[in-house]
Amino acid sequence: MRKSISSLKLPHYKSTAACAAVRMPIPKEVLLPLNMHSGQAAEPVVQPGDHVYVGQLIAREEGRNSAPVHASVSGTVKAIEPYAVGRKTTAIRIESDGKMEKYPELSIPQPTNLDEFLQCVRQSGVVGLGGAAFPVWAKLAAAQKSHISTVLINGAECEPFITSDHRTMLECGDLIEKGIELLKQFMGSEEYILGIEKNKPDAIEQLTERFKDDPAVKVMPLSSVYPQGAKQVLLYNATGKVVGPGQRLASLGVIIINVTSLVKVAEYFATGMPLVERIVTVDGSAVKEPKNLIVPIGASVRDLVEACGGLKEEPGKILFGGPMMGKTVDTLDASILKATNAVVIMNRRDAERTAPSACIHCGRCVAVCPLGLNPTAFARAMELEDEDKRAAILQKEQVSLCMECGCCSYVCPAHRPLAENNSAARRFIRSWESAKKEGGK
Would you tell me which residues interact with ligand SF4 (CB under 6 A)? 359-365, 369, 371, 373, 375-376, 402-408, 412-414, 416, 418-419, 422
The smaller minimum CB distance to ligand SF4, of residues 89 and 223, is found at: 223
Q: Min. distance of Cβ 320 from ligand SF4 in angstroms?
A: 18
Which run of H or of E encompasses 44? Answer: strand 43-44
The smaller minimum CB distance to ligand SF4, of residues 273 and 408, is found at: 408
Q: Min. distance of Cβ 397 from ligand SF4 in angstroms?
A: 9
In Å, how far are 14, 174, 265 from 196, measured between CA atoms?
15, 17, 20
The smaller minimum CB distance to ligand SF4, of residues 56 and 376, is found at: 376
The smaller minimum CB distance to ligand SF4, of residues 391 and 412, is found at: 412
What distance in Å separates the CA atoms of residue 321 and residue 342, rounded to the nearest whole number? 5
Q: Min. distance of Cβ 6 from ligand SF4 in angstroms?
A: 8
Q: Min. distance of Cβ 361 from ligand SF4 in angstroms?
A: 5
The smaller minimum CB distance to ligand SF4, of residues 32 and 408, is found at: 408
Q: Min. distance of Cβ 222 from ligand SF4 in angstroms?
A: 18
The smaller minimum CB distance to ligand SF4, of residues 2 and 23, is found at: 2
Q: Min. distance of Cβ 232 from ligand SF4 in angstroms?
A: 9
The smaller minimum CB distance to ligand SF4, of residues 220 and 394, is found at: 394
Q: Min. distance of Cβ 433 from ligand SF4 in angstroms?
A: 18
What distance in Å separates the CA atoms of residue 321 and residue 299, rounded to the nearest whole number? 16
Residues in CB range of 36: below 8 A, 6 or more apart: 67, 69, 127, 133, 297, 337, 338, 339
Q: Min. distance of Cβ 131 from ligand SF4 in angstroms?
A: 14
Q: Min. distance of Cβ 231 from ligand SF4 in angstroms?
A: 11
What distance in Å separates the CA atoms of residue 246 and residue 235, rounded to the nearest whole number? 15
Residue 311 bridge partners (DSSP): 287
Q: Is residue 97 a contact partner of residue 306, using CB atoms and an 8 Å limit?
A: no
Residue 89 bridge partners (DSSP): 83
Number of neighbouring beta carbons within 10 Å of residue 118? 19
Which amino acid is it at 378? Answer: F
Q: Min. distance of Cβ 281 from ligand SF4 in angstroms?
A: 23
The smaller minimum CB distance to ligand SF4, of residues 410 and 432, is found at: 410
What distance in Å separates the CA atoms of residue 42 and residue 330, rounded to the nearest whole number? 24
The smaller minimum CB distance to ligand SF4, of residues 20 and 360, is found at: 360
Give the burial class of 89: count Cβ atoms within 10 A of its Cβ; 0-12 exposed, 13-18 middle, 19 or more buried.
Answer: middle
The smaller minimum CB distance to ligand SF4, of residues 162 and 193, is found at: 162
Secondary structure letter of residue 384 according to DSSP? -
Secondary structure letter of residue 54 according to DSSP? B
What distance in Å separates the CA atoms of residue 95 and residue 77, rounded to the nearest whole number? 6
Task: Render 101-157 in DSSP notation, one character per residue.
Answer: PBPTT-------SHHHHHHHHHHHT-B-TTTT--BHHHHHHHHTTS---EEEEEE--
Closest CA to 190 of 103, 264, 255, 135: 255
